[in-house]
Structure 1
Amino acid sequence: MAAKALMIQGTASDVGKSMICTAFCRIFSDDGLKVVPFKSQNMALNSFVTIDGGEIGRAQGVQAEAARVVATTDMNPILLKPKQDMVSEVIVHGKHFMDMSATSYRNNFVEQAMPIVEQSIHKLQNEYDLIVLEGAGSPAEINLKDRDIANMRMAHATDAAVILVADIERGGMFASIIGTLALLDDSERARVKGIIINKFRGMRELLDDGVEWLEKETGIPVLGIIPYIDINIEAEDSLALSSLRFKKPKQDEFAIDIAMIRLPRISNFTDVDPFFDEPEVGVRLVGNIKELGDPDLLIIPGTKNTMDDLQWLKDEGFETAIHKLVEKGTRIFGICGGFQMLGNALQDPHAVEGDGGSAVGLSLLPVTTIFNKVKKTVQMTGKVSVDVFEKDMELTGYEIHLGKTVIENENCSPFLALSDGRNDGAVTKNGQIIGTYFHGIFNNREFTRKLVNELRFKKGLAPIDQKVKTDAERREAAYQLLAEHVRQNIDLEKVYRMLQTSIQSI
């Protein structure tokens, strides 16, 4: 028998669809169901690498872990990664397909995508009891509905009951719900079986009259009002960069000040998330040199276009500013594209990053990067291969990059010795400048604590000696906390009744 299906759609982007899906995945798993997440088409800056080297949206990787299943590319068969203005990399079943303009994708690829999506959904339907589908943006975008393969088309294809999520924090929540429902056709609206109001703050009783009116006006029950909660679960949407966690603290508010450059095409920005858990550490996003200040650690993150973002760094004056920080002794850490920028030269003979050509890097590491057409996507383990940190400290992470970076001279050493025999990254002899392709490196909590303590030692501060929880322990606790929070604030019995009633006849 085909799996039951529950779909979470939203009145807009960043209303909390991914988090609600994650919560339901854990709730249903706790209740003994074999549950799996699914999103047919995802546009995300942050991606997840499956065990077999496929690339999917980070949210589906997180949701799979919450559901206690191994993530596969069937859970997100099509991934779009913005690369340039109006151009995205199209990833099909975890592998690079091609770079495509928005117009070309809409006009030429969307209908080709449906057999790919259907193949994945049919496979999941045969293997699981329940599919928790996540929509994309809003299901009521009139200019996109005829080519929308992520919302109501998937609800129809899986006979899914739909829960509509609205974000009360944004304001205009009632209008967003009524407007969304008004723009759906009759068959689409009939699939909406419940409403969840998310990110609520304040006195619950002040919302009662509004909820009563909403249910009477729409005929759809409000299943729950979810109070705002800050849970450390990775985000994938660029809108998360403006969240409370990233609002700029004053540098003197924390013993250790970490700055990350907000590149125009930033990707996998969740690499810095573990620092939020470190005591007395503040993390700032820096969009211009006026905000740069004098951090203890500067992180240059990943990017979907290294060449363009390197030129942006130079145009904005960051190159000179970074060199001045290096002279002061600031530690610099480049990840993926940030690592490539730290080198002497970048060469793009196959024009994989745009028009091709070459560029001079920041010249802080004696390395050269040559871009190639084959993307490296793999989960990896490795050991620190230099004495900058504890020798042989084993790290886990994942690689997502185009290009090979070669060390040019003996002024630096490889940073990691990988389990497959390769070396990764580069580090100067004094350990001040580090570059690596390892995403997720700071999720190795012992490594991160050692790095923080080295920054503290430099400032004459005592080390932090409290026990370090592993990243797996932290994630597991976060999933359980989120699941219990949602379970306590929704009518789960109504959700189960929705799943028991077939709506195929609609």
Structure 2
Amino acid sequence: MLIAGTTSDAGKSVVTAGICRWLVRRGVRVAPFKAQNMSLNSFVTADGAEIGRAQAMQAAAARVEPSALMNPVLLKPGGDRTSQVVLMGRPVGELSARGFHDQRRAMVFDRVLECLAELRRTHDAVICEGAGSPAEINLRRSDIVNMGLARAARLPVVVVGDIDRGGVFASLFGTTALLSAGDQELMAGYLINKFRGDVRLLEPGLESLRGLTGRPVLGVLPHRDGLGIDEEDGLRLSTRGTVREANTAPPAGSQVLRVAVIAVPLMSNFTDVDALAAEPGVVVRFCDRAEEIADADLVVVPGTRGTVRALRRLRERGLAEALARRAAEGRPILGVCGGFQVLGERVEDEVESRAGTVEGLGLLPVRIRFDREKTLARPTGRALGEPVTGYEIHHGVADVRGGEPFPGGCRVGAVWGTHWHGMLECDGFRRAFLRRVAADAGRDFVPAPDTRFAALREEQLDRLGDLIEEHADTDALWRLIEKGPPVGLPFVPPGAP
């Protein structure tokens, strides 16, 4: 089955994860699949392949090991018009958006169908996620992830609409009406997402939509806070005033710990800070102005696919000076991956930006040289007396020339840098790190001794499964998975009402 959406951010990823969790709880061997993902949030599988983090999250929902089969094509934007193309977990080059759309069927569609066939062979069910909207008619001819995939594999399609944005009935009808007759044959029904209020108020609209399209609404999913896990795209993140509060329990000490995450350009793997937000008493805020980090106890410079561009932005907005003042005052800073690179002495980049040698912020004794080969790894180590694991996704090679050893990087005073993503998900290390940060910041903050990030993530995935089980027509969903698209669905011409 293919889960499509009226727009990006309609809820395709979480609905796909929820269906995977519902099915696996019924004893079904299920796998997620997204033919093509555009995202700067990625993950490294056990065999060293890079895939979208949303597919890794969906694999966790399905209780299976993530694999490149689940996301054969990953596009990582490097600007407004170019992306790095990652095929079967390995980067194969940079292409313009137009160039990729012109070439992608010839380049990858056979491989996409082979991956889907392999997952179908080894699992009872495969829940596929679309991208953007299936009604992007300007891209239909080269589509491999929405109706192009559904037509090739004869997949029933369920379209998700976000009612919180408004206009959901128009969006669902318009999406259907813009499709060709052949595509409409596969569109089996709709899911309405993020509803607030009494569902009985929707019933006249649900009946009218079915009358207009001949297709049922298969569920109305209520709005739930805290379920936007592993978002795909940091480019859509609203930076000013954005707070992530995964855990609202009171802090163990008398004070909270305030974390400011600098929203650098082309921000990647910003989900690294989710584990901080899961700690009681830790408030995480994304910001992009120097004055917004002045009262922070910890400033995080996250990953980016534009290290040189991020350096330019930090200098333009006065953030470089603010970070230098923090370092001189012994106030904590953590740089992760690209954020680690900008804290170093210099960056030699003939690969990503082709800017040559650019001076870094000089807060860590590190020199970065970009290599054409990408490092993709799942390292392990120890830090602050605790075991640490992580994953690496970077072209920059670090020449660490001093400071204290730290996994994937180094530390000088209260400035920490690492190429490792995911370290903060290690509970023992995270608590030790936060204790050190609180001491350096002069805060009476004590990490909770029993916060387990993996368990919190499991609870979130179970909540997604509950949403599907309690608010969707699971019998109808199961019939679609088992029997394929229904027959005899009417054609909906544009302007039918």
Normalising to structure 1: TM-score of the pair? 0.90
Aligned-partner SS, 1:97:
strand
In structure 2, what is the Cα distance between the partners aligned to 1:27 and 1:123?
22
Map 1:257-296 → 2, pairs under 5 A: 257-296=258-297
In structure 1, what is the Cα distance between the partners aligned to 2:353 and 2:162?
38
Q: Which 10-residue stretch deviates more, 69-78 or 101-110?
A: 101-110
In structure 2, what is the Cα distance between the partners aligned to 1:321 and 1:144?
44
Map 1:76-225 → 2, pairs under 5 A: 76-225=71-220
Q: CA deviation at 1:287?
A: 1.6
Map 1:45-444 → 2, pairs under 5 A: 45-232=40-227, 233-238=229-234, 241-242=237-238, 246-247=242-243, 255-348=256-349, 351-384=350-383, 389=384, 391=385, 393-409=386-402, 412-416=403-407, 424-428=408-412, 430=413, 432-444=414-426
In structure 1, what is the Cα distance between the partners aligned to 2:475 and 2:485?
18
Q: CA deviation at 1:436?
A: 0.2
Aligned-partner SS, 1:258:
strand
Aligned-partner SS, 1:84:
coil
Q: CA deviation at 1:459?
A: 5.6
Tell me if structure 2 keeps the 8 A contact 1:18–1:59: yes
Aligned-partner SS, 1:272:
helix
Tell me if structure 2 keeps the 8 A contact 1:196–1:226: yes
Tell me if structure 2 keeps the 8 A contact 1:258–1:299: yes
Match of 1:476 in 2: 458
Aligned-partner SS, 1:165:
strand
Structure 2 CA distance for partners of 1:58 and 1:28, relative to 1, 3 Å: same
**Bigger relative CO (Cα 8 Å, ≥ 6 apart):** 2
Map 1:459-470 → 2, pairs under 5 A: 461-464=443-446, 466-470=448-452
Tell me if structure 1 keeps the 8 A contact 2:257–2:443: no
In structure 1, what is the Cα distance between the partners aligned to 2:265 and 2:222?
32
Aligned-partner SS, 2:378:
strand
1:499 equivalenced with 2:492 (yes/no): no
Kindly provide the amino acid, as one letter, of the partner of residue 35 in structure 1. Answer: V
Tell me if structure 1 keeps the 8 A contact 2:44–2:378: yes
Tell me if structure 2 keeps the 8 A contact 1:413–1:426: yes
Kindly provide the amino acid, as one letter, of the partner of residue 347 in structure 2. Answer: L
In structure 1, what is the Cα distance between the partners aligned to 2:241 and 2:118?
38
Q: CA deviation at 1:244?
A: 11
Tell me if structure 1 keeps the 8 A contact 2:20–2:31: yes
Q: Percent of pairs identical after alignment? A: 39
Tell me if structure 2 keeps the 8 A contact 1:295–1:330: no
Q: CA deviation at 1:230?
A: 2.2
Query: Any idea what the Cα deviations from partners look like across 1:301-351, whole Å, max 9, x if unmatched?
Result: 000121121122112221112112223332010000110111111112xx2
Match among 8, 16, 23 for residue 11 of structure 2: 16
Structure 2 CA distance for partners of 1:465 and 1:369, relative to 1, 3 Å: closer
Structure 2 CA distance for partners of 1:426 and 1:243, relative to 1, 3 Å: closer
In structure 1, what is the Cα distance between the partners aligned to 2:476 and 2:312?
54
Query: Any idea what the Cα deviations from partners look like across 1:343-381, whole Å, max 9, x if unmatched?
Result: 111112xx2112241011000011111111110111121
1:445 equivalenced with 2:445 (yes/no): no
Kindly provide the amino acid, as one letter, of the partner of residue 433 in structure 1. Answer: V
Q: Which runs of 5+ in 2 are unaligned?
A: 246-253, 489-497
Structure 2 CA distance for partners of 1:489 and 1:504, relative to 1, 3 Å: closer
Kindly provide the amino acid, as one letter, of the partner of residue 109 in structure 1. Answer: R
Match of 2:251 in 1: none
Kindly provide the amino acid, as one letter, of the partner of residue 406 in structure 1. Answer: D
Kindly provide the amino acid, as one letter, of the partner of residue 147 in structure 2. Answer: M
In structure 2, what is the Cα distance between the partners aligned to 1:245 and 1:110?
41
In structure 1, what is the Cα distance between the partners aligned to 2:83 and 2:98?
11
Q: CA deviation at 1:240?
A: 5.9
In structure 2, what is the Cα distance between the partners aligned to 1:182 and 1:334?
48
Aligned-partner SS, 1:154:
helix
Q: Which runs of 5+ in 1 are unaligned?
A: 1-5, 417-423
Aligned-partner SS, 1:225:
strand
In structure 1, what is the Cα distance between the partners aligned to 2:207 and 2:369?
61
